[in-house]
């Protein structure tokens, strides 16, 4: 499961969520937190995934059937 967490300022909830999910390998958490009015902090996800901004189209993947 992939989760995108976006926050307008650093909050304790982000720290709690990140710690709760860091041991679960089935969850890929990407966080974008605004640190100042013109800067953001990105943690997790695929390297460079959001370099060009957010995707314009929703990409839905089907669950695999075994």
Q: Please state, in angstroms and rounded to a whole number, the distance separating the CA atoms of residues 12 and 15.
A: 5
Q: 3-class SS at 41?
A: strand
Neighbours of 49 (CB within 10 A): 13
| pTM score over 0.85 | no
> Residue 32 forms beta bridges with which residues?
6, 42
Selected residue with higher pLDDT from 4 and 65: 4
pLDDT at site 37: 85
For residues 19-46, one letter each, b for 16 or more C-beta atoms within 10 angstroms of the residue's C-beta and e for the rest, the string is eebeeeeeeebbbbbeeeeeeeeeebbe
């Amino acid at each position: 499961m992939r989760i995108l967490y976006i926050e307008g300022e650093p909050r304790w909830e982000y720290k709690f969520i990140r710690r709760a999910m860091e041991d679960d390998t089935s969850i890929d958490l990407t966080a974008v937190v605004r640190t100042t009015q013109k800067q953001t902090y990105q943690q997790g996800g695929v390297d460079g995934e959001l370099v060009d901004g957010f995707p314009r189209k929703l990409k839905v993947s089907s669950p695999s059937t075994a």
